Structure formats: C-alpha cells, structure tokens
A and B are shown apart, each in its own frame.
Chain A
Amino acid sequence: NAGVTQTPKFRVLKTGQSMTLLCAQDMNHEYMYWYRQDPGMGLRLIHYSVGEGTTAKGEVPDGYNVSRLKKQNFLLGLESAAPSQTSVYFCASSPLQGTGELFFGEGSRLTVL
C-alpha cells in the first residue's frame, strides 16, 4: 500500500529555475491538495483539485501552477523559483464521500538559493 507518494523528496534550486513536484496516489481518491509547511506558519493550502481536469486556488497560490491530467496524479510547478518558496511541500488526497480525513505524503523539501 503506497498511499500518497511524492517525488522528489529533496531538491535544491537556484533562483529563477523551474521544477515540478509530482504527487501520485493509489487510493482512487477524487480530491488532491498541495500544502506548504513553514516554521510558525503551519500548513498552508497552495492549490487543490476536486477531480481529474479541475484545479482551484488555495490560500497561497502565487508563484505556483498545478495540473491534474490523470486522477491519480497532481503536479505542482514552480516556473521561476524564488528563495521565499524554500519550504517543505506536502501532497494529500481524500475520497469524495469520506470522513473528511486527508491522507498525506511524506513531503518534499525544496531549497531555493
């Protein structure tokens, strides 16, 4: 049971570079989310998706783009990385008719120099 898998787990970028974080879930969940975690700030929602082909903005969407071309995958892109995007990124998923529980991956640590 893989659950929610994030790749890569660690990445170092230079300012202005681009990258994509991949989230894959094998639980057939409808909903998927990208959060970032920063000390003292908790978890803040970047973007989310309520189904294949749909995306919506969360609390802190600026500087990020997302795509949900397949139900099991949710991609988070940084077109031009900035030091302020240094963070730990978590992907999560939940079922349409679930209890409200979100199932999280183990995180991707991104450092932007």
Chain B
Amino acid sequence: QQQVKQSPQSLIVQKGGISIINCAYENTAFDYFPWYQQFPGKGPALLIAIRPDVSEKKEGRFTISFNKSAKQFSLHIMDSQPGDSATYFCAASIYRGWGGKLIFGQGTELSVKP
C-alpha cells in the first residue's frame, strides 16, 4: 500500500512536443505529491509539488495534474526542450508528518530530441 507506480520507464519526445509522465498511488493518507528531476551524476532536485486541495498546479512549462478519486497524478512538460532531458521521479508523502520521508516511483528517463 506504500507503493507509487510510475510510467513510462522511458520517453522520447521531439523538441517542442509535450512530455507526459504518469503516477499512481494506493495509500489514501498521502497528501503531498512532488516531482523530482535528476541529471546524470547529480542528486534529484525538487521540480514542482502539489497538495490534493487543488487539481492542477503550473510552474512555467511544467504542470502537475492531480486526480484524487483515481489516486493518480501526472507531470506535463510543455514545449519540451533538449535541456529537459533527465530522469524524472514522482513521489508521495504525508505532509509535515511521517518524518518527512518520500516514497518514490520507479523513474522515467526523458530524452528530448532536437
């Protein structure tokens, strides 16, 4: 029940296209859903996060869509750029509880072709 399932495992998108990564969770107590971006040789870094009081959050070209009833959330990258090529992880947690720990999805390796 603690799992977060992420798909696809890898994604190739043309420059200017839309990248979509999906995640699903089981634990209904989760109420904090961040996305992390990781470049080769680096640690993950927070990209954008959402709490379930809203169904969508947008920051620049990055948007999280959240469906509480389906227990799913997704990351949309609009106008994808080669610099967006990285590994993306979704995660889930209990906000300000649970020791702050995150349960991560399996990761998606995104490649944006020029």
Q: What residues of chain A have their CB less than 8 Å away from a CB belonging to chain B?
A: 4, 31, 33, 35, 40-45, 48, 50, 56, 58-59, 90, 92, 94, 97-102, 104-107
Contact = CB atoms under 8 A, between A and B. Distances in A.
A84 B43 CA distance: 21
Interface of B: 2, 6, 9, 32, 34, 41-46, 49, 89, 93, 95-96, 99-107
11 contacts: A31-B99, A31-B101, A33-B101, A43-B44, A58-B101, A59-B103, A92-B43, A100-B49, A100-B93, A104-B44, A106-B42
Contacts, number: 64
Contact of A45 (B42, B43, B103, B107): B103
From B2, B44, B89, B103, residue with most partner A Cβ within 10 Å:
B44
Contacts of A100: 32, 34, 49, 93, 95-96, 100
B21 to A, nearest CB: 13
